[in-house]
């Protein structure tokens, strides 16, 4: 989707594409079938921002942090798996494709937008303010295959831009010449960041039971690290947009979340190719059933009790209530 600076009107097919199959395979992706996130859009918690609608990986992490017989084990697990998420946090992920050979591509990220659909009011409510949207996000390096934290990114400020950009090639010296074929995967990292954890219940004035869907987007522009031309024509980087859930500390007690290595995912888009023409493009995700290719986790406690696709907005409801990007 190419919106330049003024976003165009979003239509249903934009979301079908966003939440469908990834447009290429990311570098060092887990094998197909072992993980869903590299290959298609997915929804886990969706419209059920609650601990009973969390993925198996999160439940496993909770049990690992509070094994049976440990101090406070039952109390902690009950709080984590039986409490609503008081906050949600949008995020983006940028990773090279398995074919990429360009090493001097960098990315400007701007205008994070997050909206939540109120069932009772039948409308989308913005959670991000203009202040949130002009704040330039920081970014971290994560390992390619398992999204484990590596280190903070170095920040590049080319003279023609007034906000930071980030390069997925970690070592500065590796950015000077094109990569080999096949690419040297050890040179690359995932760019991963998020915006503020948004207290949707306070901002929107609604309960978690009134959430019908979540929509998140970011504006992204590809540029070179040094103002020169990209150093190889096979310049393929993918972007994924997602949202995670977070508990409020006052609901759980201080420290209960400590030691749990993963957060409860709400959902994320498929991985979309970032254009190389220097245009700003908005990438988005939504927790609605807009593609037959997307994955919906129907194995959670809530989904099993309430039926398949109970955590996503229906396609008909979404078609009648398509969210739109806000303009400054």
Query: Any idea which of 74-83, 159-168, 254-263 has the lowest mean pLDDT?
Result: 254-263
Report the pLDDT value the prediction gives residue 72, as an integer from 0 to 100: 64
For the segment 136-148, what is each residue's pLDDT rounded down to a tens digit? 677 899 999 777 8
Task: With a cut of 90, say whether residue 149 has pLDDT above it.
Answer: no
Contact criterion met (CB below 8 Å) for 100 and 277: no
User: What's the pTM value of the predicted model, to 2 decimals?
Assistant: 0.91
Torsions phi, psi for 270 (to 5 deg): -70, 175
Rounded (5°) CA angle 25-313-268? 25
Contact criterion met (CB below 8 Å) for 37 and 146: no
Contact criterion met (CB below 8 Å) for 206 and 125: yes
Query: Any idea which of 36-40, 57-61, 87-91, 266-270 has the lowest mean pLDDT?
Result: 57-61
Element spanning 92, H or E: strand 87-96
For the segment 165-202, what is each residue's pLDDT rounded down to a tens digit? 999 999 999 999 999 999 999 999 999 986 678 899 99
Report the pLDDT value the prediction gives residue 256, as an integer from 0 to 100: 57
Residue 158, Cβ neighbours under 10 Å: how many?
A: 15
Contact criterion met (CB below 8 Å) for 112 and 195: yes
Domain-wise residue ranges, the chain: 12-319
Contact criterion met (CB below 8 Å) for 270 and 210: no
Report the pLDDT value the prediction gives residue 233, as an integer from 0 to 100: 97
Element spanning 113, H or E: strand 105-118
Dihedral (Cα; 70, 76, 78, 79), 10-degree rounding:
180
Contact criterion met (CB below 8 Å) for 150 and 140: yes
SS3 assignment, position 110 = strand
Percent of the chain, pLDDT > 90? 62
Measured between alpha carbons, how far is 314 from 241 in angstroms, rounded to an integer?
20
Measured between alpha carbons, how far is 232 from 156 in angstroms, rounded to an integer?
20
Q: What is the mean pLDDT of residues 123-127?
A: 96
| pLDDT category of residue 1 using cuts at 50, 70 and 90 | very low
Measured between alpha carbons, how far is 97 from 25 in angstroms, rounded to an integer?
6
- Angstrom CA distances, 308 to 212, 283, 305, stand at 16, 27, 9
Query: Any idea which of 80-84, 133-137, 283-287 has the lowest mean pLDDT?
Result: 133-137
Task: With a cut of 50, say whether residue 2 has pLDDT above it.
Answer: no
């Amino acid at each position: 989707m190419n919106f330049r600076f003024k976003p165009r009107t979003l239509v249903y097919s934009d979301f079908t594409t966003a939440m469908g199959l990834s447009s290429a395979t990311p570098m060092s992706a887990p094998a197909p079938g072992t993980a869903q996130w590299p290959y298609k859009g997915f929804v886990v918690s969706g419209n059920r921002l609650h601990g009973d609608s969390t993925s198996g990986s999160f439940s496993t992490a909770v049990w690992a942090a509070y094994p049976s017989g440990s101090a406070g084990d039952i109390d902690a697990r009950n709080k984590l798996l039986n409490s609503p998420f008081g906050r949600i946090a949008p995020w983006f992920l940028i990773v090279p494709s398995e074919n990429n050979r360009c090493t001097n591509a960098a990315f400007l990220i701007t205008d994070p937008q997050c909206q939540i659909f109120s069932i009772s009011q039948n409308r989308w409510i913005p959670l991000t303010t203009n202040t949130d949207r002009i704040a330039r996000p920081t970014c971290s390096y994560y390992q390619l295959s398992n999204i484990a934290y590596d280190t903070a990114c170095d920040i590049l400020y080319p003279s023609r831009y007034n906000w930071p950009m980030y390069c997925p090639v970690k070592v500065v010296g590796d950015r000077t010449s094109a990569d080999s074929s096949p690419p040297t995967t050890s040179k690359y990292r995932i760019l991963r960041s998020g915006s503020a954890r948004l207290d949707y219940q306070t901002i929107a004035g609604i309960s978690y039971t009134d959430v019908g869907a979540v929509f998140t987007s970011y504006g992204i522009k590809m540029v070179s690290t040094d103002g020169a031309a990209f150093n190889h024509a096979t310049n393929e980087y993918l972007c994924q947009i997602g949202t995670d859930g977070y508990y409020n500390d006052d609901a759980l007690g201080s420290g209960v979340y400590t030691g749990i290595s993963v957060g409860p995912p709400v959902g994320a888009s498929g991985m979309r190719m970032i254009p190389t023409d220097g245009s700003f493009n908005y990438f988005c995700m939504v927790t609605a059933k807009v593609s037959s290719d997307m994955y919906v986790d129907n194995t959670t406690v809530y989904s099993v009790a309430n039926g398949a696709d109970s955590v996503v907005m229906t396609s008909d409801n979404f078609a009648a209530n398509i969210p739109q990007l806000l303009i400054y």
